Amino acid sequence: MAVYTDISEEELGAFLGEYPVGELLSYKGIAEGTENSNYLLHTFGGAFILTLYERRVDKADLPFFLGLMEHLARKGVTCPLPVHRRDGQTIGELAGRPAALITFLEGMWMRRPTPQHCREVGKALAGLHQAAADFPLTRKNALSPGGWMHLWEGAKGRADEVEPGLEREVEAEFAEITRYWPTDLPSGIIHADLFPDNVFFLGGKVSGIIDFYFACNDLLAYDIATCLNAWCFEKDTSYNLTKGAALLAGYQSVRPLEPSEAEALPLLARGSALRFMLTRLHDWLTIPDGALVNKRDPMEYVRRLRFHRQVAAPTEYGIDIA
Ligand SMILES: Nc1ncnc2c1ncn2[C@@H]1O[C@H](COP(=O)(O)OP(=O)(O)OP(=O)(O)O)[C@@H](O)[C@H]1O
Ligand SMILES: N[C@@H](CCO)C(=O)O
């Protein structure tokens, strides 16, 4: 459960007074997510999500994240819309935290995505890349190779607590991945965390995309690599080629990949696995046991890293190279 900050009915009522949403009817903490505190609210005006920004979110980035959601929604991507206060602002403050109110999206996230879901998410990702292309703000990816090193420096001394030998293994990965990391592929705004819990479905179709708090400017194909990691592995860490092929075909039905992007997939997938392993490792070592947060297992991503390391060609991900 990710509720780091408790709020009282009185302070919430006062906060909502600034918004044209009517009187508060009910609110409760949401038992999912890891990064921010989220509450589901019902008011006379409808259902909303209240987010209090914690830990990794820099307040200075909020205009980028919230502005991006408005931009995407205007372009037909179903994502939450930030609610404007009466003074026109979308960012307020509650319980000492920056806070925003966004619209509630209907739909369910898929605990067990099928190849058809993977195809739909591939299409949705390409649509997002296209819709975001003319968003005027930019944000550097804080979790690209420079940021990974920062996380690793803080965690490596204790990595062997998670699995003996992990420190040496990850050191070697860093050296390889950063040495060959591409910089000249098509870039734009990426979601950067498009995991199944951030994509809602209704009737087999994507009904909404949430959680833009890692969005940034980076390589478009890196976002695809993250989706392959998040959507196309089974519980036993076997890669599901049918799901991978469906996700890639879905993406390419909207935006065909350039040959250089397809070529880079194994390395991008490796880098993306390293990135999620590192944030998980950091959290694993720093969040106290018993905190009301789901700690995610870094080893799931170490195992993905090991898979990508032995991939010899992008076709092993199921990509159709014309
Ligand atoms: N606009 C929305 N409409 C409906 N439900 C939402 C919305 N935004 C968030 N939620 C719910 O809140 C949960 C947590 O939201 P979110 O993923 O943004 O949190 P987070 O702490 O950033 O999580 P993550 O670990 O994925 O980064 C979601 O899984 C979903 O159940
Ligand atoms: N999607 C991330 C957590 C939130 O950023 C993970 O599974 O590690």
pLDDT tens-digit series, residues 58-75: 999 999 999 999 999 999
- Specify whether 300 is located in the same domain as 157: yes
Q: Provide the number of structural domains found in the chain.
A: 2
Q: Does any domain span residue 4?
A: no
1 has a pLDDT exceeding 50: no
| CA–CA gap between residue 38 and residue 57 (Å, rounded) | 14
Domain range holding 150? 109-317
- Specify whether 278 is located in the same domain as 146: yes
Q: What's 106's DSSP letter? A: -
How far is ligand 2, taken at its centre, from the CA of residue 276, in Å? 7
How far is ligand 1, taken at its centre, from the CA of residue 109, in Å? 10
Index of the ligand 2 atom closest to the CA of residue 276: 8
- The region of weakest confidence among 110-119, 146-155, 217-226 is 146-155
Q: Does any domain span residue 182?
A: yes
Backbone CA torsion sign across 49, 52, 55, 60: positive
Q: Can you give the pLDDT at residue 295?
A: 80
pTM for the structure as a whole: 0.94
Average pLDDT over residues 117-131: 98
For the record, the structure tokens of 21 come out as 């949403």
Q: Does any domain span residue 159?
A: yes
- Specify whether 133 is located in the same domain as 17: no
Instruction: Tell me: ipTM over 0.85.
Output: yes
End residue of a domain, out of 71, 104, 137: 104
292 has a pLDDT exceeding 70: no
Q: Does any domain span residue 185?
A: yes
Q: Does any domain span residue 251?
A: yes
- CATH number at 24 reads 3.30.200.20
Protein residue closest via CA to atom 18 of ligand 1: 211
For the record, the structure tokens of 122 come out as 């591939």
Write out residues with Cβ below 6 Å of ligand 2. 34-35, 193, 195, 276, 279-280, 296
Q: Does any domain span residue 117?
A: yes
Name the residue of 1, 4, 30 to mutate for ligand 1: max ligand atoms within 8 A of Cβ: 30
Average pLDDT over residues 196-207: 96
- Specify whether 170 is located in the same domain as 94: no
- Specify whether 57 is located in the same domain as 159: no
- Specify whether 54 is located in the same domain as 123: no
Number of H helices, E strands in the chain: 9, 10
- The region of weakest confidence among 53-62, 251-260, 273-282 is 53-62
Mean pLDDT computed over every residue of the chain: 94
| CA–CA gap between residue 251 and residue 271 (Å, rounded) | 20
234 has a pLDDT exceeding 60: yes
